Structure 1
Amino acid sequence: DKKGKYTVLSEKLTSEPMGIGFKKGDKELEESVQKALDDMQKDGTLSKLSIKWFGTDEYKK
């Protein structure tokens, strides 16, 4: 049981962008993931997830 062994910090430690890796040349997968991310940004899902997990909307325009 690891309960109590970790502390969630209120401040950010870094501000680097995140990325997703793909097998070189796998354009079909890359395009599918990009479309899903674009759709999630348009319908507000990414903002909701950002607020839930990071406490702030990292997708505000």
Structure 2
Amino acid sequence: VQHNLFMGDIVAAWSDDRVFRNGHWIFDDAPDELRTVHYVAGGQFYAIGKGSKFDHGPGKD
């Protein structure tokens, strides 16, 4: 088994305003080609889907 560790310093970032607005990711209406892909396990990947909002309580975002 081989393991790799990558470390870096982020000096700049960019996001597509079609899926990121006002500090939040908005994938609900995004076309498939803009959705992020996530590895689960055993060679299985999933594209991000519909979002859900939950009440975190007063003053929480």
Indicate whether the TM-score tops 0.5: no
Which TM bucket (shorter chain)?
under 0.3
The structure carrying a bigger strand percent of its residues is 2
TM-score, structure 2 length as denominator?
0.27
| TM-score, length of structure 1 as denominator length | 0.27
Query: RCO higher in 1 or 2 (8 Å CA, sep ≥ 6)?
Result: 2
